[in-house]
Structure 1
């Protein structure tokens, strides 16, 4: 999968950066982190423009995910649960949260951010938040129509 907006993608972590994982982590967790770190960082950078602060938020989220890793793996949708942990971690660090409009759901705002700002296509968004592509595409269409009707 490729980002439509390569400028929003974060470079891979350099050795010694907080993103390094201890050598004894489960291989599944290491793979999960490697797969999701760039997109999680891009999302966090929307809300936390300081690169170090966004990286710290993502690292904190991965630390929490690691604590609950076995429990998450036993859940019906580990990726969705991990996404909620990331969202919560980023929200805790946001100084001035932007409330959703009364007729909007914050998760729809996340989809719009991931699509229009980060540059992910619907299948990539579905992979990141742990849902199906059709649901993401439909919600993006509804969000776009809602916005267009307000013009």
Structure 2
């Protein structure tokens, strides 16, 4: 299995990303950018388009950063922003709008190469929930064979 995320794949900060950002936001970006980029590259094979979608998502997350931090699950809300942004970029050439969230788990696991704990960190949920949803997705797909 090939892992499609690595720190060398990180795009440089874009023109819309402020240079003086809160330390927490910078750390969040550093942690999630490679995984977000790997996910975006599944739907947007052109590296520039994928990097642009991730940059746009981070710009949106930055706008709502204080609000996200005040929520019960900032990582889950940030993931929804990323999914939505990638979806906007793929409307004409990618997956159907509103593809099931469990498909994202399968993509993160089988295509990107993340283990259940890593997926849980990326999408803002617990490992047991990810593992159970991956099992259900696998069983659902196997029943269609």
Aligned residues: 142
> Which segments of 5 or more consecutive residues in structure 2 lack a partner in the other structure?
none
TM-score, length-normalised on structure 1? 0.86
TM-score, length-normalised on structure 2? 0.90
> Which segments of 5 or more consecutive residues in structure 1 lack a partner in the other structure?
none
Q: What's the offset of the Cα at 1:24?
A: 1.4
Structure 1 residue 128 corresponds to structure 2 residue 128: no
Q: 1:5–1:120: 8 Å Cα contact kept in structure 2?
A: no
Gap change, CA 1:45 and 1:12, over 3 Å in 2: closer
Structure 1 residue 53 corresponds to structure 2 residue 46: no
In 2, the alpha carbon distance for the partners of 1:98 and 1:22 equals 31
Q: What's the offset of the Cα at 1:17?
A: 5.2
| Runs of 4 or more above 3 Å deviation | 19-23
Structure 1 residue 30 corresponds to structure 2 residue 35: no
Structure 1 residue 74 corresponds to structure 2 residue 66: no
2:139 to 138, 142, 145: 145
Gap change, CA 1:25 and 1:126, over 3 Å in 2: same
Q: 2:74–2:124: 8 Å Cα contact kept in structure 1?
A: yes
- Which residue in the other structure is 2:110 paired with? 116
RMSD between superposed Cα atoms in Å = 2.1
Q: What's the offset of the Cα at 1:149?
A: 1.0
Gap change, CA 1:64 and 1:144, over 3 Å in 2: same
Gap change, CA 1:19 and 1:9, over 3 Å in 2: farther
In 1, the alpha carbon distance for the partners of 2:59 and 2:16 equals 11
